[in-house]
Structure 1
Amino acid sequence: MKYFALVLVFFTSFTFTGQSVFNSEGASVTKADLETNYYEKDSTANALVIYEYGNSYIDKNSFKLKTEITKKVKIFNRNGFDKANLEIFLYNNKNKKEKVSDLRATTYNLENGSVTKTKLKNSEIFEEKYNENYTIVKSTFPNIKEGSVIIYSYTLESPFVFKYKGWSFQEDIPKLYSEYNTSIPGNYEYNIKLVGFLKLFHQDSNIRHNCLSVGNGGYANCTDTRYIMKDIPAFIEEDYMTTKSNYLSRIEYELKVFRGFDGRVDNITKNWKTTDKELKTDNNIGRQLGKSGGLKNLLSDSIINENDELKKASKILEYVQNNYTWNGKHNLFKDTSVKNLIKEKSGSASEINILLHNLLEENDINVKPVLISTRNNGLPTKLFPVISEFNYLIVAATINNEQYFLDATDEYLSFGEIPFKCLNHYGRLLDFKDASSWIDISDEKVSSRFYKAELSIDAEANISGIISSKSTGYHGLPLKRSYYSNNNQYLDYFKETYVNLDFLDHKVLSEGKTSYEFEEEFEIVYESDITANNIYLNPFLFKFFTENPFKLQERTYPIDFGYKDAYLYMLRLEIGDAYEILETPEDCVLKLPNNTGSLTFTTTVNENSVLLYFKFNFTQSYYEPQYYDSLKTFFGKIVDVQKNSLILLKKKQ
């Protein structure tokens, strides 16, 4: 994730694009806007934002934050009709609330060669309560048809000046032009960040003197800034990503310092030194960590007396995994009680992992808690502390100069593994004696999947043999969970998925549910496809991918697998004396740019057997958007090899 601080230094970047038939220079509707029902840069788009404009400023009379918004949208087809539904969320607390005024909307259509306009009536605007802190102003624009253009504008008035209005440049439909103007008085100092991977087309700023004044002679100058993006692609969610809030291009504001006209200075944004002190005394974090009360007699003498530090830590982890059940809640800053966990044997992720931390610390293991944000919760900003952006806690243990991340909420995790949801790049290592610090959260091991098929074909063209499977790390985790939670139904999944195979026997060779590797064997029989005297055999009885997960024309955000992985499929087919080999698949080799992945597929004929070797891997867990086309081609080849590879055998006469 890339964050750009825009507090003191402003920059301009330019991209050059071709002309569009749509009028993206303003809110007026042209005939071309109505006649054109296709966006050349995205043929899949159901609607298009032709033009949008926002302007935020502090009103010099009311001293409230006002934001004026204008938007022009083209509806291409019926799937885009939802863009004619307007929803404006208004925040309120017990004393203050946001308001909307001057809401106007018009639908334009081209009917019999003439432009028609249908205006939104006040009676078609509704307001309803959403929850305790929000109401929604809602409306559906009238006379919407395929080809319509809608224009709407309104002013949002907010008394919550400390929460400056952010701006989203990107949404789920493409945009031709998006402009946001801000006017920030000098007595308000904000941390400003541009989130996402799209560049601004233009940015400029200037100082406007005496924009605000008060009766006692106090005044403020304003920094007026304009941000513009053009030709913004739609954000479409796809596999291998964290939450979309990490990637949607937008501007966000966090008030850092407020200077009153009376000379008062309020430091709103805290630093990590102050935050660490608060966390140390927090009832849900600091006061739960290091508590020795209630820990006595929890661990057996065999664990306490273990001399090997790594073995001791592993046994303590297994004890917590096997004796305390996660209730499905995180509760990082809410109602955390290790005492209740010990009593009830069930609790939140924070309670379970704090108990793990305390037991390890009590037994002289060097441990520290780590605050993280899970993959679906977004990346926490590194610019300044925002504690509300964290939602999970894990444990970092240092043993023999090596660091391990631990989590006891899942009984199937091996030592040094954390849930996949926690692989979100970085976290905050808490150290109340010295100082907290950022720490990378990643799995340096390579998770793998491996199949080895030893098969033979008899004179009746029946293929039988053993398929050995080994899955490690995050590939093995779901298999362990499925098998050990209900081993009677485990094989049913394979029978239902691979209907062309008969499973005669199945064995699990792994040591247990926390083993890093999950090994198993399948004894199978496969009835081959016979045409005349020829046998057409697809050698991939088990497949890694059945379709390409990447289908977008363009992806503007990274590909985040979460971990590095590798795949291997090996086949030995004994054909005996009854058959001869007529054809084998074509070999191929493919590499990702900068040696970040490779694919090898070979077939060798050796006397009365066929040897097939298929291997591919990803040496990175995270790929920048510029790798997307290469990865799309790479996965396409993976699917093609598994789907279209045939071994052609002919029965000897």
Structure 2
Amino acid sequence: MKSVSQSVLCVLICLFSSIVLNAQDFKLEKVSEAELTLDFYAKDSAAPAAYLNKVRETYFDYNSHDGWIIVTEVTERIKILTKEGLEYATKKIGLYKNDSDKELVDDIKGITYNFNSGKIKESNLDKKAIFKTERSERWDQTAFTMPAVQVGSVVEWSYKMVSPFYKVDDLIIQEDIPVINYYARIRTPGMFQFRRVKKGYFDIKPKESVEQGGVTVDGGFNHSNYFNYQELVAEYEQHNVPALKREVFVANPDNYRRSVIYELISTDFNDNKREYSTTWEEVARTIFKHDDFGGELNKTHFLKAAAEEILTANKTQETQIKAALRFVKSKVSWNGDYGKYTDEGIDKAYKKGSGNVSEINLLLTALLRECGVQANPVLVGTKRFGIPLFPTLEGYNYVVAGIRSGMQTILLDATDKWSAPNILPTRVYNWKGRMVNKKGVSQEIDLFETIRPQTDRYVKAVLNEDGSLEGELSQRFSSLEALEIRHSVGDKDLQDWGEKRLDYFGVDEMKSHQLKDLNELEKPVVESFQFKIDQAVDQVPGQIFLNPLLFFRERESPFKSDERISPVDFDFPFTHNINITIELPAGYAVTSLPEAIKIALPDDMGSFLYTIHEQNNSIQVMTRFSLKSTFIHADYYQSLKDFFKMRIEKENEKVILKKSI
């Protein structure tokens, strides 16, 4: 059966390739029996669905109302292979809008094809099944689900999207399912200059040509003129594009999805040239001038009373900063919305008691300024928002408050109840931030500069001859490590959380469990408890096999694949120290100890140290795992994989004890 399907696949690929050559007509050949009887995709047998064809054409047009518009025509055909693939019978189209213009989608058509009793049956998409919703202040959505879909169906839809914005949508070549054939034809008039940026790790070179284009322009008084121009035509073609692979330690896989981005550099109408390509400084300045960003920092009259109260109770700038942060947290809660611009304004957010990221942290910035602190907003792009490849207004989606004092930077985020100065939610720590002052002048900020996360773990235990082990554990979490513990505990009952820790550590008994300084947000969190493990070792008559790292050893590496395409992205740099002392049972002697090692990643990106020795009938083991680089390029993947392998192998080595009397 498999060989038959593979033969069918070869026929399909040849057939689809011939179709793609004429794809700009947006008329694919009729769905065939071969397509409908295909039961799996040979190049990815686990794929729940696959794009048989993914086709688009983008071109510029002109009308008297909007002027130049961008039209994108899309046709997509998808084969549903499994029950899990049924979700790919739903299409969601995002449409951008601003205060005066918006994108529109029209001419939506869809057909579901099924093969029953030797016949192909067609089910057309009903216009009533197309739904339009407002997703946010800047985005609308048109969505539909194809009818009569089942495993084995082929769904096909087409639509036309019209945009008044000079933004060519990204060419998304790679999807979460395989794309057997991809074709795009992008036509750009000579008056519009674009830079094309490839995203993801792949090679693609468009076929280029110059063609004659033209539009009818309204000349007024019932006259119209036909305007001729040359346009650059770029055709992109890819076959058998694999599904985007989900890899561990990737905050946003879309950063590495095969795509081509068109960045507008300039326009030139009648020798009136306008430059659009910009720098991050210009991006920050443009954002600052926006009424819903920099304009909000002038609306501070309602904060005067709060500022006076803070200044009266706090005499130093350090305590004033902390008091302002506490005040905003207590007055306004985060509604979960991101954004660099305010939705309703900082004054309304203050009155309502809730707001988006921008409203909360611009409110904090304004309050600090009322207190005489030289605070400025800091623009950030969060981890899941992605890493922009060039300066763009869409590069930022988040704002924090920043204070630059001498060579020191203090960053604040009032959206998180557990945050503290320079201890921000991990979502904030991405590439770089940009602080913008009152004049709109900006400077780049290293978000990682001020954090030194560290965890120190101490265990003192006694091993009994019957294999049980009793002891005390104390661990100290600082900076972002402490923040993660505070998030984990949250508002839970400490006794309930302590019971979960019993399972987490795999101990049989736990008592005197304590968490110190949980609510002292700038201090480390210290956790301690006494424990007992009924069977902590492996035994044979006269011998004990003990893992000296107990419940702190890692059992397997997260890096299992032979190769990796995307970089490894850890949340933040850290240092983990472990110190364990175990008193051995009387009458037993050490016959074998693991060897000490020290290994390091290239370019000082990280290191691991393991030492162990016996003294006074006790074993003392110490490890230090330090990661300095949070973003490790795929070129270093094999080194990282080997590093973790050696580290974990060492952590799982055992001490052998033998009964001597």
Which TM-score band (shorter chain)? 0.7 to 0.9
Structure 1 residues 595, 202: CA separation in 2 closer, same or farther (over 3 Å shift)?
same
Find 2:174's aligned residue among 150, 170, 173. Answer: 170
Q: Which residue of 2 aligns with 1:233?
A: 242
Residue 367 of structure 1 is aligned with which of 375, 384, 404? Answer: 375
- Pairwise mapping of residues 235-634 of structure 1 onto structure 2 (< 5 A)? 235-253=244-262, 276=285, 279-280=288-289, 282-283=291-292, 285-289=294-298, 291=300, 293-301=304-312, 303-304=314-315, 306=316, 309=317, 311-312=318-319, 314-317=321-324, 319-320=326-327, 323-330=330-337, 332-335=340-343, 338-339=346-347, 348-379=356-387, 382-386=390-394, 390-433=396-439, 435-443=441-449, 445-482=451-488, 485=491, 486-508=493-515, 510=517, 513-528=520-535, 529=537, 530-543=539-552, 545=554, 548-550=557-559, 555-585=564-594, 590-606=599-615, 608-634=617-643
Query: What corresponds to 2:189 in structure 1?
Result: 185
Aligned to 1:648: 656
Deviation, structure 1 residue 393? 1.8
CA distance in 2, matches of 1:36, 1:484: 48
Give the AA of the match of 2:207: D
- 1:611 deviates by 2.4
Matched, 1:128 2:139: no
Change (3 A) 1:499 1:161: closer
Closer, same or farther in 2 for the Cα pair 1:120/1:421, shift >3 Å?
same
Superposition deviation, residue 91 in structure 1: 5.2
Aligned to 2:137: none
Q: Report if aligned partners of 2:596, 2:610 keep a CA contact under 8 Å in 1.
A: yes
CA distance in 2, matches of 1:242, 1:503: 35
Cα distance, 1:224 vs. partner? Answer: 0.5
Number of matched residues? 615
The AA in structure 2 aligned to 1:647 is V
Q: Secondary structure of the equivalent of 1:297?
A: helix
Identify the residue that residue 228 of structure 2 maps to in structure 1: 219
The offset of 1:516, in angstroms, is: 4.5
Give 1:203's match in structure 2, choosing from 170, 183, 206.
Answer: 206
Residues 120, 142 of structure 1: 8 Å contact kept: no
The aligned runs of 1:108-147 (5 Å cut-off) are 118=120, 120-122=122-124, 127-132=129-134, 133-140=140-147, 144-145=151-152
User: Are residues 77 and 561 of structure 1, via their aligned partners in 2, closer, same or farther at CA, if it must alter by over 3 Å?
Assistant: same
Unaligned runs of 5+ residues in structure 1 are 1-19
Is the CA contact (8 Å cut-off) linking 1:368 and 1:431 kept in structure 2?
yes
Q: What's the CA shift string for 1:185-222, capped at 9, x where partnerless? A: 2344556544x322332223232124445542422211
Counterpart of 2:409 in structure 1: which amino acid? Q
Q: Give the TM-score, by structure 2 length.
A: 0.78
| Counterpart residue identity of residue 445, structure 1 | I
Once residues 38 and 319 of structure 1 are traced to their aligned partners in structure 2, the CA distance between those partners, rounded to angstroms, is 56
Q: What is the TM-score when the length of structure 1 is the normalising length?
A: 0.79
Q: 1:162 to 1:362 in 2, by over 3 A?
A: closer
**Change in CA separation of 1:223 and 1:439 when aligned onto 2, cut-off 3 Å:** farther
Structure 2 gaps, min length 5? 1-8, 20-28, 135-139, 218-223
**1:3 corresponds to:** none
Secondary structure at the residue paired with 2:206? strand
Cα offset, 1:172, TM superposition: 0.8
How far apart in 2 are the matches of 1:200 and 1:108? 37
- Please provide the CA RMSD for this pair: 4.3
CA separation in 2, counterparts of 1:319 and 1:125? 52
Matches within 5 A, 1:57-72: 57-58=59-60, 66-71=71-76
Query: Alpha-carbon deviation of 1:547?
Result: 5.0
| Contact 2:479 2:524 (8 Å CA) reproduced | yes
